[in-house]
């Protein structure tokens, strides 16, 4: 958003939020509400049922035709369905970009599959939320924050991984740095009583492991009677309670329920120089809005993985999380407000990320020594890239080939340097733990190889690949 508003307070947006955010939307006349809605569902149902058919038609008509007729700009026409036109010649063909468009097409989640998974997941989440609100004391105020690739429309291949953070608001807390790279913190109460007092350690900080254990028990309680759901074994240092759900004949769904503390205060000093880079890309106003939303802390152990570093004893702490901001800026990723909207120009930022995630998944499947790399590395690389190539015209949909090449070169650069700063905490190097120099170099070489040879690996398989989270 090119800073056009100069309003100081973010709250001041209330009078015209829709317009401010998206002028296009403002065009469509809003249907004035009809009859006041009655209490009972039955009555509501009847009213809608009677009046629905007519209205639906009115609204859909103009849309249908345009949607059906107009070719979606970013899809290559010849490649369109995958089922019809695509020849399975494994040679590198004349248009090297073709394989990219084809691959994107094949990574797209099928509507029916998505629908099935969504309903299963939503039922489960609703059940957990109800349980937390009604049957627990310390988790009764949780809110569900849907995050991760599925909810960012970046999930590829199968709708089989979902992330939901259940956030507990905390007030009057003292956030203290824990460790030296700015990613970990401990949380203490300033004064007064709080419903989380029972998790206090001897040093008056909230015990991450204690709270997570309790949280896990509550989740366990309420999914116990569900036959299709089972709990994955607790992994040390993992902030999520992972549920494995067997859908009807489909791939099992893994649903991460993450405990998070919601902190509504200004961001810690270690965030400086991180999100500030979006100024040129998205504007300072957007940055302010994001910062205003606060941040989250998820239970995570510090000091695990590498035992080499002496002196740092493994103690539990909270890791800072900006999942909500990631989601927000990825869904609203254009320098222009109309980027990727019907009336605007389509870009390929998200397609590039999907391809990178896919490539990484394939390379990992091929070589176990790359297991430490994860999709968050890919996402972070894209965020950095968006800050250096800030204009929407730098990411024209038709230039997918070039943009992807460039993004891969970026990634190779990070790997060769052994340095990929966390986008929000620049001093936190995502390649610092468990990524030895050798595996970084290896991955960089493999990517370069693919990039220079027309991505043979994309030709080989379109099988299901998924990248596990850190």
Binding site for DNA (CB under 7 A): 16-18, 21, 24-25, 27-28, 30-31, 33-34, 36-37, 39, 44, 48, 59, 111, 114-115, 118-119, 121-122, 146, 151, 153, 328, 331, 340-342
C-beta closer to DNA: residue 151 or 442: 151
Output the smallest distance, CB 92 to DNA, in A.
30
Output the smallest distance, CB 338 to DNA, in A.
9
What residue spans of 322-399 are helical by DSSP H?
A: 323-331, 349-366, 375-388
C-beta closer to DNA: residue 216 or 337: 337
Output the smallest distance, CB 273 to DNA, in A.
26
Mapped onto helix, strand or coil, the DSSP state of residue 142 is coil
The C-alpha torsion from 266 through 268 and 270 to 275, rounded to 10°, is -30
Output the smallest distance, CB 164 to DNA, in A.
10
d(CA 242, CA 289): 31
Q: What is the largest CA-CA distance in the chain?
A: 72
- Six token digits for residue 38: 């009655």
C-beta closer to DNA: residue 295 or 373: 295
C-beta closer to DNA: residue 62 or 463: 62
Output the smallest distance, CB 133 to DNA, in A.
10
C-beta closer to DNA: residue 114 or 416: 114
C-beta closer to DNA: residue 93 or 130: 130
Output the smallest distance, CB 122 to DNA, in A.
5
C-beta closer to DNA: residue 18 or 312: 18
Per the CB < 8 A criterion, the answer to whether 418 and 431 are in contact is yes
C-beta closer to DNA: residue 255 or 363: 255
d(CA 223, CA 243): 9
- Those residues whose C-beta lies under 8 Å from the C-beta of residue 427, and which sit 6 or more positions away, are 181, 182, 270, 421
Output the smallest distance, CB 332 to DNA, in A.
9
Q: 440: closest CA among 451, 429, 425, 427? A: 429
Output the smallest distance, CB 125 to DNA, in A.
9
Strand 240-245 to 253-263 pairing: antiparallel
Which residue in this structure is represented by tokens 């094949």?
106
Strand 173-178 to 184-189 pairing: antiparallel
Q: How far lies 205's CA from each of 201, 210, 297, in Å?
A: 5, 11, 13
Q: 186: closest CA among 325, 324, 320? A: 320
d(CA 287, CA 273): 12
C-beta closer to DNA: residue 118 or 200: 118
- DSSP symbols for 275-315: GGGHHHHT-HHHHHHHHHT-EEEEEEEES-S-----S---E
Output the smallest distance, CB 255 to DNA, in A.
11
What backbone torsions phi and psi does residue 28 show, to the nearest 5 degrees? -65, 125
């Amino acid at each position: 958003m090119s800073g056009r508003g100069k309003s100081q307070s973010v709250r001041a947006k209330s009078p015209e939020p829709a317009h401010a955010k998206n002028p296009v939307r403002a065009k469509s006349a809003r249907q004035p509400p009809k009859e006041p809605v009655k209490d009972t569902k039955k009555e509501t149902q009847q009213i809608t049922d009677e009046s629905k058919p007519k209205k639906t038609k009115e609204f859909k008509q103009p849309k249908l035709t345009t949607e059906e007729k107009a070719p979606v700009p970013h899809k290559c026409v010849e490649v369109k369905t995958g089922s019809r036109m695509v020849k399975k010649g494994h040679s590198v063909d004349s248009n090297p970009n073709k394989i990219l468009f084809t691959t994107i097409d094949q990574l797209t989640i099928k509507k029916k599959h998505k629908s099935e998974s969504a309903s299963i997941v939503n039922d489960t989440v609703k059940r957990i939320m109800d349980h937390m609100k009604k049957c627990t004391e310390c988790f009764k105020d949780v809110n569900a924050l849907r995050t991760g690739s599925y909810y960012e429309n970046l999930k590829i291949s199968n709708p089989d991984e979902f992330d939901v953070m259940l956030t507990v608001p905390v007030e009057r807390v003292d956030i203290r740095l824990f460790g030296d790279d700015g990613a970990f913190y401990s949380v203490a109460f300033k004064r007064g009583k709080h419903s989380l007092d029972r998790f206090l350690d001897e040093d008056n900080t909230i015990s991450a492991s204690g709270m997570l254990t309790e949280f896990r028990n509550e989740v366990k309680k309420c999914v116990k009677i569900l036959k299709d759901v089972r709990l994955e074994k607790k992994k040390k240092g993992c902030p999520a309670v992972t549920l494995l759900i067997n859908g009807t004949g489909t791939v099992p769904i893994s649903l991460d329920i993450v405990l998070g503390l919601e902190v509504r205060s200004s961001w810690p000093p270690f965030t400086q120089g991180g999100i500030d880079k979006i100024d040129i890309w998205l504007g300072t106003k957007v940055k302010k809005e994001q910062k205003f939303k606060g941040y989250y802390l998820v239970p995570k152990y510090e000091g695990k993985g590498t035992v080499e570093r002496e002196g740092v004893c493994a103690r539990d702490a909270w890791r800072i999380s900006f999942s909500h901001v990631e989601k927000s800026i990825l869904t609203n990723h254009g320098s222009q407000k109309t980027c990727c909207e019907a009336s605007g120009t389509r870009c390929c930022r998200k397609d590039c990320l999907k391809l990178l995630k896919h490539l990484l998944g394939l390379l990992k499947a091929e070589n176990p020594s790359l297991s430490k790399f994860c999709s968050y590395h890919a996402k972070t690389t894209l965020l950095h890239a968006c800050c250096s190539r800030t204009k929407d015209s730098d990411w024209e949909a038709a230039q997918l080939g070039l943009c992807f090449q460039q993004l891969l070169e970026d990634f190779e650069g990070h790997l060769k340097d052994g340095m990929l700063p966390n986008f929000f905490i620049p001093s936190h190097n995502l390649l610092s733990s468990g990524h030895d120099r050798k595996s970084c170099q290896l991955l960089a070489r493999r990517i370069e190889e693919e990039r220079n040879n027309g991505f043979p690996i994309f030709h080989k398989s379109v099988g299901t690949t998924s990248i596990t989270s850190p």
